[in-house]
Structure 1
Amino acid sequence: MTQTGVVGPKAVARAPLEVRIGRAAIVAFALYLMTPTFVHYIEDARPARIPGAVLAAVVVALYIAAGCTGPRGPWHRWAVGVMALLVYLPLPFLGEWWAASSVFLTAMTLGLLPRPYPLPAFALVAVAETFKSMALGDVLAGGLSWTLSVAVAAIPLAGLTHFAETARVLYATRAELATVEVAAQRVRTVRELEAILGSRLDAIAEQGRTVLSGVDGDAAAVKTELGRMLDMAREAQTEMRGFAHREQRLPSGKADYQI
Structure 2
Amino acid sequence: MTGPGHPRGIVRAAPWLLVALHLALLVMSPILVATDAIRQHTANQVVFALVAGAVLAVVHLRHVRAAVSDRRPVAWQWTLALQAALVYAPLPWLGLDWASTSLPLTASAMLMLPRPWGVSVGFPIGYVGSGIGYVLLLSQILSTGDVVLELVYYAFTWAVFSFMLYGTARLVRLVNELYRTRAELADLAVDEERVRVSRDLHDLLGQSLSAISLKGDLAARLLPLDPVRARHEITSLTEIARSTLRDVRAVTRDEHHVTLREEIAAAQGLLMGAGVDTRIDTAGADLDLPEHAQRVLAWAVREGTTNLLRHSEATTCTITLARSGGAMSLDIRNDGVRQPPGGDGSGLGGLKDRAAAAGGWARSEASGDGRFHLRVELPETNALVDRP
Any conservation in 2 of the 1:59–1:83 contact (CA below 8 Å)? no
Shift of 1:136: 6.0
Query: In proportion to residue count, which structure has more helix?
Result: 1
Q: How does 1:18-97 map to 2 (within 5 A)?
A: 19=11, 22-43=14-35, 44-68=41-65, 70-75=68-73, 78-79=75-76, 81-89=78-86, 91-93=88-90, 95-96=94-95, 97=97
Gaps of 5+ in 1: 1-12, 248-259
The equivalences for 1:35-184 within 5 A come to 35-43=27-35, 44-68=41-65, 70-75=68-73, 78-79=75-76, 81-89=78-86, 91-93=88-90, 95-96=94-95, 97-111=97-111, 113-118=113-118, 119-133=120-134, 145=151, 148=155, 150-184=158-192
Q: Which amino acid aligns with 2:23?
A: L
Write the letter of the residue equivalent to 1:122.
F
8 Å CA contact 1:41–1:50 kept in 2: the answer is: no
- Higher share of residues assigned strand: 2
Seen in structure 2, the aligned counterparts of structure 1 residues 151 and 88 have a Cα distance that, compared at 3 Å, is farther
Q: Residue 47 of structure 1 aligns to a residue in which SS? A: helix
Q: Look up the match of 1:5.
A: none
Secondary structure at the aligned position of 1:178 is classed as helix
Unaligned runs of 5+ in 2: 1-5, 36-40, 255-388
Deviation of the 1:25 alpha carbon: 4.3
Question: What TM-score do you get using the length of structure 1 for normalisation?
Answer: 0.68
The verdict on how the C-alpha distance between 1:133 and 1:81 changes in structure 2, with shifts beyond 3 A counting, is: farther
The 1:39/1:87 distance shift into structure 2, 3 A limit, reads same
Over 3 Å counting, the alpha-carbon distance change for 1:211 and 1:15 in structure 2 is closer
Secondary structure in 1 matching 2:116: coil
Cα offset, 1:50, TM superposition: 2.6
Q: Distance in 1 between matches of 2:87 and 2:128?
A: 19
Distance 1:188 1:112, change over 3 A: farther
Distance (Å, rounded) in 1 between the aligned partners of 2:164 and 2:218:
81
User: CA RMSD for the aligned pairs?
Assistant: 3.8
Label 1:235 to 1:78 Cα distance change in 2 as closer, same or farther (>3 A). farther
Q: Distance in 2 between matches of 1:64 and 1:90?
A: 15
Q: Cα distance, 1:174 vs. partner?
A: 1.9
In structure 2, do the counterparts of structure 1 residues 129 and 147 end up closer, same or farther at CA, with 3 Å as the change threshold?
Answer: farther
Query: How much does 1:37 deviate?
Result: 1.6
Question: Normalised by the size of structure 2, how large is the TM-score?
Answer: 0.48
Taking a change above 3 Å as real, the CA distance of residues 235 and 112 of structure 1, as seen in their structure-2 partners, is farther
Q: Could you tell me how far apart the structure 1 residues matched to 2:14 and 2:170 are?
A: 9
The one of the two structures with greater contact order (alpha-carbon pairs below 8 A, sep at least 6) is: 1
State the structure with more CA Rg.
2
Shifted more, 26-35 versus 197-206: the winner is: 26-35
C-alpha distance 151-166 of structure 1, shift in aligned 2 (>3 A): same
Question: CA 1:84–1:95 in 2, change beyond 3 Å: closer, same or farther?
Answer: farther
Kept after mapping to 2: 8 A contact 1:22/1:160: no
Deviation at 1:243, TM superposition (A): 8.0
**1:207 maps to amino acid:** K
Instruction: Report % sequence identity.
Output: 23
In the comparison of the two structures, how many residue pairs are matched? 231
In terms of mean alpha carbon deviation, does 66-75 or 224-233 score higher?
224-233
Distance in 2, matches of 1:200 and 1:72, equals: 53
